Amino acid sequence: MKAAVLHDYDLDLLRPEWVRYEDYPDPRAEKPHDVIVRIGGAGVCRTDLHIIEGIWRDKVDIELPYIMGHENAGWVEEIGSAVEGVSIGDAVIVHPLVTSGHCLACRRDNDMHAEENSFPGINANGGYAEFLLTSETSLIKLPESLAPKDVAPYTDAGLTAYRAAKKASKHLVPGQYAVIIGAGGLGHIGVQVLAALSAAEIIVVDLSPRALEMIATMGAHHTVVAGDDWVEEVLALTNGHGAEAVIDFVGEGDAIVKGLAATREDGYYYIVGYGGKIEVPAIDMIISEKTIVGNLVGSYPELVELMALADRGLVRLDTHEYRLSEANKALHDLNAGAFTGRAVLIP
- Select 13 or 282, whichever has its Cβ closest to a copy of itself: 282
- Select 28 or 108, whichever has its Cβ closest to a copy of itself: 108
Task: For the beta carbon of residue 1, count every other beta carbon within 10 angstroms.
Answer: 15
User: How far apart, in Å, are the Cα atoms of 208 and each of 205, 214, 223, 227, 315?
Assistant: 9, 10, 10, 10, 21
Computed from CA positions of residues 99, 102, 106, 109, in that sequence, does the dihedral angle turn out positive or negative?
A: positive
Residues 50-79 that bind a copy of itself (CB under 8 A): none
How many chain residues bind a copy of itself (CB under 8 A)? 74
Minimum distance from residue 276 beta carbon to a copy of itself (Å) = 5
Give yes or no for a contact between 58 and 334, defined as CB atoms under 8 angstroms apart: no
**Distance, CA of 211 to CA of 194 (rounded, Å):** 18
- Select 150 or 201, whichever has its Cβ closest to a copy of itself: 201
- Select 14 or 282, whichever has its Cβ closest to a copy of itself: 282
The β-bridge partners of 223 are 204
Residues 207-236 that bind a copy of itself (CB under 8 A): none
User: How far apart, in Å, are the Cα atoms of 248 and each of 212, 241, 270?
Assistant: 15, 18, 6
Binding mask 96-115 for a copy of itself (x = CB under 8 A): ----xxx-xxxxxxxxxx--
Give yes or no for a contact between 144 and 176, defined as CB atoms under 8 angstroms apart: no
Residues 173-202 that bind a copy of itself (CB under 8 A): 173-175, 196-199, 201
Nearest to 45 by CA among 324, 272, 345, 309: 345
Which residue of 137, 155, 223, 238 would you call a contact of a copy of itself, by CB under 8 A?
Answer: 137
- Select 16 or 174, whichever has its Cβ closest to a copy of itself: 174
Residues 240-299 that bind a copy of itself (CB under 8 A): 251-252, 256, 265-266, 271-296, 299
Which residue of 12, 81, 325, 339 would you call a contact of a copy of itself, by CB under 8 A?
Answer: 81
